[in-house]
């Protein structure tokens, strides 16, 4: 068996392993963003912010394996046993168990080539979603963003300001969902874990972010759009669509 044939067989085995090891909720749209960024922008390090919910850090592990990344950070307030177990297999991976909106996280991460923000910007309050981008802009050259974007307005808005009835018409949860039920019952009480009022926790839908506001913020931060795709409606929500973005700190753009 020649060297080229061995390499092809090893590559095939690796591909099978990756596909087999991925959780059911691993999404091909988000994978497309990772693949495009890693294949078109030099990425040797990254931070995956809010990486655990529903996928147990799968995008972190996929990116490290597929692209041989030697340095990565996974940041989340709610770690799982599976994440902690799998993380032991990745020597260059650092787990940070806190809210990525805390300034001390930046000190731990330092500079990275890319920051991954999948389905998390709409949850960020104090600092708000745009302030999160400002915080990390000085520490990275690339943002990889997948977010439910609001299409029923020409400006971004805080969903809770819509009032209870309209709020629940715009999110994929009902009034009986425990976290949401508790939020409306204890709106201005202190959350025991997050040490902030329930209204400001990141566990609920907070924002309807419109594309124009995101583009404006990234332009202010000197990032140019490298990739954009509308991945269609978020479930049955008529006012939200899943949009994917890749921004690079550069004046030139990669043509797609």
Q: What per-residue confidence (pLDDT) applies to 114?
A: 98
CA distance to 99, 132, 150, 156, 201, per residue, from 233 (Å): 28, 25, 10, 17, 25
Q: What per-residue confidence (pLDDT) applies to 7?
A: 34
pLDDT (tens, 9 = 90+) of the chain, 256 residues, equals 343 333 333 343 344 445 557 888 999 999 999 999 999 999 999 999 999 999 999 999 999 999 999 999 999 999 999 999 999 999 999 999 999 999 999 999 999 999 999 999 999 999 999 999 999 999 999 999 999 999 999 999 999 999 999 999 999 999 999 999 999 999 999 999 999 999 999 999 999 999 999 999 999 999 999 999 999 999 999 999 999 999 999 754 333 3
For the question of whether the overall pTM of this predicted structure is more than 0.85, the answer is yes
Asked, for residue 185, whether it belongs to a domain, the answer is: no
Q: What per-residue confidence (pLDDT) applies to 14?
A: 46
Asked, for residue 184, whether it belongs to a domain, the answer is: no
- How many structural domains are present in the chain? 1
Q: What per-residue confidence (pLDDT) applies to 226?
A: 97
Q: Which domain holds residue 55?
A: 3-151+208-248
Q: What per-residue confidence (pLDDT) applies to 250?
A: 73
Task: Supply φ then ψ for residue 121, to 5 degrees.
Answer: -60, -40
Q: What is the DSSP letter of 91?
A: T
What would the two tokens of residue 136 be? Answer: 């990390």
Asked, for residue 131, whether it belongs to a domain, the answer is: yes
- Spatial distance between the Cα atoms of 254 and 245, rounded to a whole number of angstroms: 13
Asked, for residue 192, whether it belongs to a domain, the answer is: no
- Spatial distance between the Cα atoms of 48 and 202, rounded to a whole number of angstroms: 16
> How many CB atoms are located within 10 Å of the residue 90 CB?
18
Q: What per-residue confidence (pLDDT) applies to 35?
A: 97
Q: What per-residue confidence (pLDDT) applies to 253?
A: 38
Asked, for residue 164, whether it belongs to a domain, the answer is: no
Question: 59: burial class by Cβ within 10 Å (0-12, 13-18, 19+)?
Answer: buried
Contact 86, 56 (CB under 8 A): yes
Q: What per-residue confidence (pLDDT) applies to 19?
A: 55
Contact 77, 10 (CB under 8 A): no
Asked, for residue 121, whether it belongs to a domain, the answer is: yes
Asked, for residue 128, whether it belongs to a domain, the answer is: yes
Asked, for residue 90, whether it belongs to a domain, the answer is: yes
The CATH number assigned to the domain holding 64 equals 3.40.50.150
């Amino acid at each position: 068996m020649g060297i080229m044939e061995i390499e092809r067989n090893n590559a095939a085995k690796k591909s099978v392993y990756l596909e087999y090891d991925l959780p059911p909720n691993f999404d091909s749209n988000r994978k497309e963003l990772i693949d495009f960024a890693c294949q078109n922008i030099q990425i040797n390090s990254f931070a995956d912010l809010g990486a655990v919910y529903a996928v147990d850090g799968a995008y972190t592990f996929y990116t490290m394996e597929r692209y041989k990344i030697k340095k990565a950070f996974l940041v989340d307030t709610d770690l799982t046993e599976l994440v902690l177990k799998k993380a032991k297999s990745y020597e260059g991976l650092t787990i940070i168990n806190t809210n990525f909106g805390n300034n001390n996280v930046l000190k731990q991460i330092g500079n990275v080539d890319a920051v991954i923000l999948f389905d998390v910007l709409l949850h960020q309050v104090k600092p708000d979603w745009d302030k999160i981008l400002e915080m990390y802009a000085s520490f990275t050259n690339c943002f990889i963003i997948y977010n439910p974007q609001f299409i029923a307005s020409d400006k971004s808005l805080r969903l809770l300001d819509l009032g209870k009835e309209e709020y629940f018409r715009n999110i994929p949860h009902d009034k009986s969902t425990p976290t949401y039920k508790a939020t409306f019952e204890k709106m201005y009480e202190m959350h025991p874990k997050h040490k902030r009022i329930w209204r400001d926790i990141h566990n609920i839908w907070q924002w309807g972010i419109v594309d124009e506001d995101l583009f404006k913020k990234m332009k202010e931060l000197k990032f140019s759009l490298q990739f954009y795709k509308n991945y269609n409606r978020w479930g049955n929500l008529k006012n939200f669509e899943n949009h994917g973005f890749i921004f690079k700190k550069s004046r030139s753009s990669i043509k797609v």
